[in-house]
Amino acid sequence: MATPTPRVRMPATAKKGDIIEVKTLISHDMESGQRKDADGKTVPRKIIRHFAAEYNGKPVFSADWHPSISANPYQSFFLRAEESGSLAMAWTDDDGGIYRATAKLTVT
Q: Write out pLDDT tens, residues 47-60.
A: 999 999 999 999 99
In this predicted structure, the answer to whether residue 28 has a pLDDT above a threshold of 70 is: yes
Task: Name the maximum alpha-carbon separation found in the chain.
Answer: 58
- The mean pLDDT value for 15-39 works out to 93
CATH code for the domain defined by 5-103:
2.60.40.10
- The answer to whether residue 1 scores a pLDDT higher than 80 is no
Mean pLDDT calculated for residue range 73-78: 97
Boundaries of every domain in the chain: 5-103
